[in-house]
Structure 1
């Protein structure tokens, strides 16, 4: 039985991870009394007791947590942005590259991917690797997420009626997922990123529009299909299966990620599309998948 400590289990991601783990017979959750959840001594004792700790914290507290666990044999999965491009950390997207599942399974430090990043990187990385998209190509990424991705304050705004039904944000091109996307997609040119939030709790669509420039729709589809062939959670689906409408909530409460290529050769334009649950494959589901690999459990346990 693996002992797991969720540091920050009161947040949205932490709660969902706990729900996925607390009924499993192969896992024992290490808990800190709610009154002591910010007590460094109590948290260090929990780190010391656990085999794996999952950090569900903002970036600065996540870095502090790693320091707090220094010298202990606990393995760490960090769900924050803090270590996604840090040396010594394995990027926790098992399907992204050959052998990455094995690296995650043997790692002491794993960084959980971001939700927007998961969709963007899943689409772009195989195409860069196949030579269909240049590392310095001028790309744009558009996305919409459910409001739970914005944390407690944004959730409260939507649930008490203060937030608008839809808004676009981070247009100054300083979104914290951009370095992660560039690093793990193998890009040398910074994409233009326009994220947005809608009045639905969870779910996400990420879009990458492209001028074909001599490429074909089938080139993109075939490269993605070959890359993810045999994947348990990532599927490449036909554009026609959507019936002309892509719904961001379609994969809610799953760990699935669906990729598709839309557009036409005649129009010389394509839109690459990823659909996922921002709290599933984009957060808690991915963390549990990584945990399963690290403790030698079935990769889909709890998912």
Structure 2
């Protein structure tokens, strides 16, 4: 049996390097790479994409769109790690745990858009609850998240790690214009009818994410409790390999969340914290922005797609 050919376009970026490292030891596929001199050669890149069974695009948005436009071979399948196609018709959203049948849709898809790192946590928390009617679609959702500085790509890593660089800030909030490119993705795939407020930030650690979504029970449908929200998440992800829904006892005993707790894994840890006296709930997600939020998710989608070649 011929080995499927996988080409990574943009394998020198933060995500591309990690995917390349994960694939380099695999014997069930053939990894197509370009020499350094050809990495920016549009024609050579187009030839490589069209020679692949699956092309993984680890590029900025517009170069990713351009790469897709160069595809002439109808057999080529694509995983796009950029945000260029995450809400576009004809592309399957690459979050296998999103719904029943989503993994199967990814496995047979020609075009898969890898989720963004922050949206992975936000959508994983919100969609099951919105779908069940526990969180209204028009709820004034606010998403707060802090990521390791690798979330800023090569520039973010260089700021903290490049020899001779001045130490980067301990903490920085950005996206203050409330127009971060992940916001439409969160709204679309979480089933929200109103645009959420999304406030991202970076900490002085390399990788990992803590994401939080506060909820006021007085704004929820009658009868909704923290216990009910937890039960819905638990039911939605029952049997999932990579999504952990922590128990109410775990949440009650937990006083801090470590953004680096799941680094190096493709796991996503969800929890529901609450204060019954004040009628407040906090939905939380912890995961690796370079794992489940990027290269790990791409690998999960790739393995699904390889099943159908």
TM-score class, shorter: over 0.9
The answer to whether the Cα contact below 8 Å between 2:216 and 2:279 also exists between their aligned partners in 1 is yes
- Tell me the alpha carbon deviations over residues 189-246 of structure 1, each in whole angstroms, 9 at most, x when there is no partner: 1111111100000000110000112521101100000000000101101254363110
Determine the structure 2 residue equivalent to 1:285: 296
**SS of match in other structure, 2:16:** helix
**Cα drift, residue 72 of structure 1:** 4.3
Q: Is the 8 A contact 1:119 1:274 kept in 2?
A: yes
Deviations 1:106-133 (A, max 9, x none): 1000000000000000000000011100
TM-score of the aligned structures, taking structure 1 as reference length: 0.95
- From 198, 201, 222, the equivalent of 2:231 is 222
User: Contact 2:53–2:75 at 8 Å: present in 1 too?
Assistant: yes
Give the CA RMSD over aligned residues. Answer: 1.2
Distance 2:288 2:226 in 1: 26
Match for residue 180 of structure 1?
185
Instruction: After superposing the two structures, state which structure 1 stretch, 100-109 or 213-222, moved more.
Output: 213-222
Aligned 8 A contact 1:171 1:193 in 2: no
Match of 1:129 in 2: 131
1: CA distance, partners of 2:287 / 2:166: 25
Q: TM-score, normalized by length of structure 2?
A: 0.94
Contact 1:212/1:265 (<8 A) preserved: no
Task: Specify the alignment match of 1:234 in structure 2.
Answer: 243
1:33-68, Cα deviation, whole Å (9 max, x unpaired):
111111122112211221100000000100010011
Runs of 4 or more above 6 Å deviation: none
Mapped partners of 1:262, 1:281: distance in 2: 22
Q: Distance in 1 between matches of 2:200 and 2:166?
A: 21
Structure 2: distance between partners of 1:288 and 1:161: 34
Counterpart-to-counterpart distance in 1, 2:82 and 2:181 = 11
Partner of 1:31: 33
Q: More displaced, 237-246 or 59-68?
A: 237-246
Aligned to 1:118: 120
Unaligned runs of 5+ in 2: none
Instruction: Give yes or no for contact 1:40–1:68 (8 Å, CA) kept in 2.
Output: no
The alignment covers a number of residue pairs equal to 297
Which deviates the most, 208-217 or 222-231?
208-217
